[in-house]
Amino acid sequence: MIMGAAGSTVYYNLKLRHPTLDTPIIDYELALLIQPMLMLGISIGVIFNVVFPDWMVTILLIVLFLGTSTKAFMKGLESWNKETVMKKEAAKRSQPSSGGNQEVEYKPLATGPNNAGEVTVTAEPEVPVLQNVCWKELGLLVFVWIAFLILQITKNYTAICSIWFWVLNLLQIPVSMAVTVYEATSLYNGKRVIASRGHEGTNWKVHQLFIYCSLAVIAGIVGGLLGLGGGFILGPLFLELGIPPQVSSATATFAMTFSSSMSVVEYYLLNRFPVPYALYFITLAAVAAFVGQHVVRRLIILMGRASLIIFILAFTIFISAISLGGVGISNMIRKIKHHEYMGFENLCRYQT
């Protein structure tokens, strides 16, 4: 479902531009910094999913999702209040020329709720897809994905816990580290910038880059453990970095397309992937995501509030916590009633 929804959303976003800057709405530099470590975390998380008991995964899911949804909701309130102040100030400035009778067009926030300045839109909202893709960054991301795919497929022909099994697993580290170090070094030296962060995107410290990459690994581990693509973690994380909601959502979904598709491959190789159900839900999610993107974009234009994206994110995460947590709890109760084993599994004895 996540892969289908992410793929459909990325296709919709590929022709859109940044709300305030002359760049694509997908921040390719940010994705290139985060994505390789996210995929490394996904591989670790999938192994944890096999080893960890279901009750532990369920508790982690509920705690994480409730905490993340609460944090996102508070960020949404902050953005909403900021937008309200900016709309009132713009209305006051327009009174001498319009007498206060004309509604003022909303100007999006430049770099999220922490930016106090008002900016104007400098790019067209839509452009041809081929002109809106950063091919070098996309090529590096595809390279990482293909490298991980080859390693995963090759690993499927080795015995679990054999020497080659662990060698192939460990080879994912240099692949992801090479691309991440290249991007982090370029950001540190100023050769590349994350434009969505405004002026802060040009001044990077070593500890900042290390923290963000570490958070990407953690997001990947959680995504692989829970069977997600890591987007539920990346979205709130990007908002905390000061990325505008539209760009945060588009970039997180873009990264999630790679990571969720890799999760699908890994679960399929572990024989934990029901293909007929998956195809049904992929189709359903893709159509729903495409329609949802169109509706949400229209609402943002109509209401003049990009913070709607944050509230939708918070609501989605909260509903996921309730629904998935409820299913997990019901399975725990069933296992307790039937006195089934609920401890840790042995990865080396797992049969694919």
Residues 6-49 pLDDT 10s: 777 777 788 888 877 778 888 898 899 988 998 898 888 888 88
Residue-number span of the structural domain to which 125 is assigned: 2-91+102-339+344-348
In a domain, 262, yes or no: yes
For residue range 294-343, list pLDDT tens digits in order: 788 788 878 878 888 889 888 988 898 898 888 889 988 998 898 888 88
Global pTM value: 0.75
Is 177 part of a structural domain of the chain? Answer: yes
Using alpha carbons, select from 45, 37, 57 the residue that is nearest to residue 331.
57
- Distance in angstroms (rounded) separating the CA atoms of residues 324 and 277: 17
Average pLDDT, the chain: 79
**How many degrees, rounded to 5, is the angle at CA 233 between CA 146 and CA 277?**
60
**Residue 13 within a domain:** yes
Cα 97 to chain centroid, rounded:
43
Task: Give the model's confidence band at 106: pLDDT under 50 very low, under 70 low, under 90 confident, else very high.
Answer: very low
| 96 domain-assigned | no
Task: Give the span between the Cα atoms of 242 and 244, in whole angstroms.
Answer: 6
Residue 181 scores a pLDDT above 50: yes
- Domain presence at residue 163: yes
Percent of the chain beyond pLDDT 90? 9
Q: What pLDDT score does 86 carry? A: 85
In a domain, 233, yes or no: yes
Task: Say if residue 280's pLDDT is above 90.
Answer: no
Percent of residues, the chain, with pLDDT higher than 70: 82
Is 97 domain-assigned? no
Per-residue pLDDT tens over the stretch 182-196: 999 998 888 888 877
Note whether residue 178 is domain-resident: yes
- What is the reported pLDDT for 170? 93
Number of domains in the chain: 1
Separation CA 112–CA 86 (nearest Å): 13
pLDDT band at 115 (very low <50, low <70, confident <90, very high): very low
